[in-house]
Amino acid sequence: MHHGIWRELLTAISRNSVETHDDGERKWYFPSVVSEATFDKWTVRQILVHLGLFSRIRRLNDDIITFHARHNIVLTAEEITFFYGWRPNGIAFDAKGKQCVFLEFTHPMDSVTSSEEVDWAERKELEKNERYGMHIYFINYLSALNWRPWNCTQASFTVGARDSLKKTQF
């Protein structure tokens, strides 16, 4: 059910993203939007191919191992495959501006309840940023390593209602 909601939201974002470059070309490309009824979640590997940062699987594995080793993280072969197989909910590219944006869609029901220390919205935002943080950092790392000027970021969307509405609230 929720994938249908994300598909509709992603399609609407794509359709309404009308910003253009000076030459009139649309600024943003949303490859996840295949049609009004279909969307395709790209893997990190597909994103790397699109950005020109992928040449061979052995090289990608070595880059992933080296990147994680710099952070004192040792990955198994299965974890390496999982890392580049990760799929953000959506992706947007601005080829001329060399921008890559992971689009993360969640609903507040994914959240834990608020506490005095951290609001549910703040906690949810931290969770969303943590989910793709290493992937985004890795893409930016590879971009710099390969002299490609891509900058990867994340845009998060939390949609829907949190808690139930009570009739007495109206």
Q: Are 39 and 90 in contact (CB under 8 A)?
A: yes
Strands 99-106 and 90-94: antiparallel
Q: What pLDDT score was predicted for residue 164?
A: 45
pLDDT above 60 for 22: yes
Q: What are phi and psi of 146, to 5 degrees?
A: -100, 15
Percent of the chain whose pLDDT exceeds 90: 38
Q: What is the pLDDT of residues 45-72, one digit of tens each?
A: 999 999 998 888 999 999 999 999 999 9
Q: Are 54 and 64 in contact (CB under 8 A)?
A: no
pTM score above 0.85:
no
How is residue 23 written in tokens? 């030459």
Q: What is the pLDDT of residues 101-157, one digit of tens each?
A: 998 887 665 445 555 666 767 777 777 778 888 999 999 999 999 888 899 999 887
